[in-house]
Amino acid sequence: MKFFADTAEISEIEELAETGLLDGVTTNPSLIAKSGRDFIEVTKEICGLVDGPVSAEVVALDHDTMMKEAETLRKIADNVCIKVPLTMDGLKTCKKLTGDGTMVNVTLCFSANQALLAAKAGATFVSPFIGRHDDNGFDGMELIRDIRLIYDNYLYDTEILAASIRHATHVLESARIGADVATMPPKVIKSLVSHVLTDKGIEGFLADWGKTGQTIPTS
């Protein structure tokens, strides 16, 4: 499974990139606004920090303007992935962009039927929103499961990008089902390393090492 960071905070991206765990980044207008920085400037900086796809979202709702915005965004860097909403105009834009060799992330997916349309439109990624699906009384993991089944039935190349991930269990279940990518806040990625037995093990090793009175030379 690929890990994408869902953030526009440069310091968080830099920290994760150094671990070798980061395969890409997803941004959206809300995250850009939270960063307080210029959209084009911050997107360009992020693209320079990671080799993988960096999703940059259009804000227009009609196809013609989406295409004009996408033209500006894809000039930022070769690894920009244009993010479009799952609407008819968004799907039309997806088809046009992927036909030109541009990566496209179709976002705000809340049903398997929508994901089927995204795949037929040639989407590079489709982003089903697990947490928001759960918030509205549905089963987010069942959505991922249905999309995986449909894509496997027809051998679609579109990658399932599990989004709106809230906690480690979402990541685990997405991986079990076979989502291709999980995009999540940096704090969720960091939480995956935590386990009480790991902490206890380290404490025990250090206590035993201290009893030896030895040190490991560092120079």
Q: For tokens 């120079």, name the residue.
A: 219
pLDDT at 12 over 90: yes
Q: Which residue among the candidates 68, 75, 83, 187 is catalytic per the annotation?
A: 83
Q: What is the pLDDT of residues 48-94, one digit of tens each?
A: 999 999 999 999 999 999 999 999 999 999 999 999 999 999 999 99
Q: Single out the residue of 35, 26, 32 nearest to residue 6, CA to CA.
A: 26
**177 token code pair:** 């089902």
Domain boundaries, given as residue ranges, for the chain: 2-194
Q: Compute the distance between CA of residue 195 and CA of residue 172 in angstroms, rounded to an integer.
A: 14
Would residue 83 show up in a list of annotated catalytic residues for this protein?
A: yes
Give the CATH number of domain 2-194; options: 3.30.390.50, 2.60.40.10, 3.20.20.70, 3.40.50.1370: 3.20.20.70
pLDDT band at 17 (very low <50, low <70, confident <90, very high): very high
Return the number of other C-beta atoms located less than 10 Å from residue 179's C-beta: 26
pTM: 0.94
Residues contacting 92, CB < 8 A, separation 6+ = 63, 121
